[in-house]
Amino acid sequence: MTALCGYRYIFLFFGGKRMKIKNHTYGKNTLYTTKRRTIALALAMAIFALYLVASLLRLQIGKYTYYRSKVFDQITTTAPLKAKRGTIYDREMNVLATSKTTFRVFISTRQIGAAMKKSDIPYDTKIASGLSSLLGVDENTLLNKIRNTSVLDVTVKKGISAEEYRAVISWIEKEGLSDLVFTEAQYTREYPNETMAAHVLGFVGSDSQGLYGLEYQYDSMLRGEDGYYLYAKDAAGNELPIEYATYIPGKNGYSLVTTIDSYIQQRLEYVIEQIRINHDVENRVAGIVMDTSTGAILGMATSSPFDPSDPYTLDSVSAAKLLASGYEEGSEEYKKYKKELLEIMWSNKAVGELYEPGSTFKIVTVSAALDSGAATMNDRFSCTGSHTVGGRTIRCHKTTGHGSGFTLAYGLQMSCNPTMMQIAARTGANCFYEYVNRFGYLKKTGIDLPSEASSIFHEKNALQATELATASFGQRFKVTLISQLTAVAAVANNGVSVTPYVVEKIMDADGNTVSEHKKTEGERVISAEVAQQVAKVLAEGVSGDGGAKNANVPGYEISAKTGTSQKFDILDANGNSYLRIGSTVAFSKIGEGGVAMILMVDEPTTSVKYGSVVAAPYIGNLCADILPYLGQKSTLPETEAEVPSLVGKSISEAKDILKKSGIGFEIYGNGKTVLSQTPAGGRITVEKTKVLLFSEQKSTYVTVENLVGLPLSEANKRAASEGFSIRLEGIESKLLAEGATVTAQSIPPATVVKRGEEITLYIVYCDFED
């Protein structure tokens, strides 16, 4: 059948005959509909084609990298090649932190499963049993991992010893397990000096990422860039031949050369531990030693340090606190408290904690008054024991007063609060605030260590009369220990500020210098003349009868200031502050440069809590060790002599030896042989010191009596008469000084010991408060 469409008729030809159908409307609609459907279908197909093309473009171009990576991951495996973390050195290139090669043992649970399907050998139990025996891991835990996972890499143990490594390799070869059990060389962080400089160095995590200290601050430099071993694998996860493998080498980390001096660091740590023990310090002790001409940190320490190689083990002090808490081990309270103790233990108190500086801030108050012209060292002042400001009476530490008509120099040496309040008022709030800013208290020091805290000082418009008065003697605001030492270092550096720093230079793996600290000229804070005036007055106070005389070291000029501040954050039931912080800051010229140091004792719990007692003597000991080491020569005349050991010699022989040496002596007892002596040895100043010889026979054992609180001369006689070998620590002169008092002893009272034991007596001048 054939249809012809015309304008008015439709003719149907069927079987050779023509039929005329009068229906022109039907023919027109059909044509229109057909065209519309054809166009719609063509358009739909065109859109679909465009969609397909766009999708292909998107997948092949836009998503090319993504899908290439997906396919690549399915047919390849990467094995990381860890970069060696850089070494940290002290300033003499002694190693402080390094990375040593260790090994990791791991298994492929996927390949173990595949091997067991092909064989009747129970590889799961065989491997779990063997490795648990060799490495001390739990057999059941390892067996569960083997049976319940199907991956290429499951770590069994990291950081195994060389002995364990050899044993595992031998076992793998013997049992034919080289396709199932593997070893990998790794690097483990090592700190050869154990706890030394722990708070400066910090430590790393399980993946060798820096978590605290320099390890964190310079992590991007130290860690380097890991390499990779990239290889193809088949459907079963087996490695394809070597031609399908690619080795991408890593880049070892840079090394740091620090400003830390290991000898100074060790002496600093020894001193702060002595303070912690002798004064039963509750909230840790911190100290810093700085080069005043450059800002280089020679030593920085916090008491009760941790071992960076084992940072999650509490130090003995923290462990004792946890034990005393009464919490059941494993309980939530126990875990929470242990976490708190760990975080405290890790924190660098010298940088990250705030305290009220107390009278050590008087150096700044006096410097500001002198530099601004508000006062001179010869201005006269009076002190009745208190001073009234803004209707509030504020006491001096010496409640009976310092008298009247004394100079500003004397007021500073005696640490007189009313004197400081008067010169601060003369300086004026705005000017005083400007000098606080100049000395750097209103910003961080910028030291290259993490977590430096910001000082908390009054807003400028809030520094009214009372606030100015209390600020003048270092109370009611808070600073960090590093900011306080940095401020004082400006005075030591002839009035020019310095920026503290710890890293001297950075080296690549070949020892080439990548970057180096560049000394920049600091800002002038006060005039050189004022700085020298203040330093001289402080030094005269140390060598004379000032509040810092316990820091005196005969033969060396040391400028020092002590301080004691109240802690207003914690009050007793009556709303009174009862906790104290004792501190001392000191500095000394060495050639064209110099050194400054500070000790801060947070909450000493012994009866005397003043900085002049809990810190100043130890600053003196530190100076006695450090100043000669750094090249400063003693000014003492050649009238010192070495005390020989005379124990066991006859009295007459001992007399002759001492007379020839020009050393005076006294003899106690009627025996013929020297049984004990004091001093036991060391160098003494001949004009001021006598050797005491004791000759009476005593029993083999002796009970130690309580010598704390006795004048040194009396304590010496009592201890020596009982046969003790006496060692003196505290005020560095080591003289039988009039007025010196024993504040602690190394052997507790009532202890029974053998005669001849050494006892250390800690001596200070206790006639001063600050």
8 Å CB contact between 319 and 344? no
Task: State mean pLDDT over 431-456.
Answer: 97
pLDDT, position 16: 46
Average pLDDT over residues 82-91: 93
For residue 661, pLDDT beyond 90: no
Measure the CA–CA gap between 301 and 270, rounded to whole angstroms: 10
What is the H or E stretch that residue 643 is in?
A: strand 640-643
- Which tokens belong to 292? 């005043």
Distance CA 494, CA 536 (A): 12
Q: Which amino acid is at 150?
A: S
pLDDT tens digits, 300-358: 999 999 999 999 999 999 999 999 999 999 999 999 999 999 999 999 999 999 999 99
Distance CA 734, CA 711 (A): 13
Token pair, residue 592, equals: 């064209």
Using the predicted structure, report yes or no on whether residue 189 has a pLDDT greater than 80. yes
Residue, of 269 and 52, whose pLDDT is higher:
269
Alpha-carbon gap, residue 88 to 695, rounded angstroms: 55
Say yes or no to pLDDT of 9 above 70: no
Question: Mind listing the pLDDT tens digit for each residue in 675-727?
Answer: 877 777 666 656 556 777 777 655 678 889 998 888 888 888 888 777 787 87
CA distance 83 to 255: 13
* Number of neighbouring beta carbons within 10 Å of residue 349: 23
**Which pLDDT value is given to residue 271?**
96
Omega of the bond leading into 748 within 30 degrees of 0 (cis):
no
Structure tokens at 508: 């690549």
Residue 190 has pLDDT above 60, yes or no: yes
Confidence tier at 54 by pLDDT (50, 70, 90)? confident
Lowest mean pLDDT among 59-73, 188-202, 214-228, 234-248: 234-248
Residue 745 has pLDDT above 80, yes or no: yes
Confidence class for position 638, pLDDT limits 50, 70, 90: low
The pLDDT assigned to 665 comes to: 82
Cα gap 473→397, rounded to integer Å:
11
What is residue 64's predicted lDDT score, i.e. its pLDDT? Answer: 67
Residue indicated by tokens 């990779």: 228
Q: What is the CA radius of gyration of the chain?
A: 40
pLDDT higher than 50, residue 12: no
Model pLDDT, residue 8: 43
User: Does the pLDDT of residue 582 top 90, yes or no?
Assistant: yes
Q: What percent of the chain clears pLDDT 90, i.e. is strictly above it?
A: 56
pLDDT band at 234 (very low <50, low <70, confident <90, very high): low
* pLDDT attached to residue 520: 83
Q: Please report the pLDDT score of residue 754 as a whole number.
A: 80
Smallest CA-to-CA distance from 585 within 616, 629, 542 is with 616
Decide if pLDDT at 11 tops 50.
no
Q: How many helices (H) and strands (E) does the chain have?
A: 24, 34
Q: Give the dihedral sign, CA 235/239/245/249.
A: positive
Q: Give the pLDDT confidence score for residue 246 in this predicted structure.
A: 62
Per residue in 473-498, pLDDT (tens digit) is: 999 999 999 999 999 999 999 999 99
Token pair 């024993």 is found at 742
Beta strands across the sheet bearing 2-5: 2-5, 10-14, 17-21
List alpha helices for 10-75, DSSP H. 24-57, 64-75
Does pLDDT of 73 surpass 80? no
pLDDT band at residue 86, thresholds of 50, 70 and 90? Answer: very high
d(CA 55, CA 549): 86
CA distances from 52 to 40, 56, 70, 193 (A): 18, 6, 22, 68
Pairing of strands 513-516, 503-507: antiparallel
The arithmetic mean of pLDDT across residues 584-613, rounded, is 95
Give CA separation, 538 vs 3, 56, 408, 432, 737, in Å: 125, 83, 12, 21, 21
Q: What is the pLDDT of residue 78?
A: 59
188/85 Cα distance (integer angstroms): 9
Mean pLDDT, residues 191-200: 96
In this predicted structure, the answer to whether residue 21 has a pLDDT above a threshold of 60 is no
Contacts of 19 (CB under 8 A, 6+ apart): 11, 12, 13
Average pLDDT, the chain: 87
**Sign of the CA dihedral running 57, 61, 62, 63:** positive
Q: Which residue has the higher pLDDT, 548 or 249?
A: 548
Tell whether the model's pLDDT for residue 243 goes beyond 60: no
Its pTM stands at: 0.79
Paired tokens of 680? 């036991």
For residues 274 and 746, what is the distance between their CA atoms, to the nearest angstrom?
Answer: 10
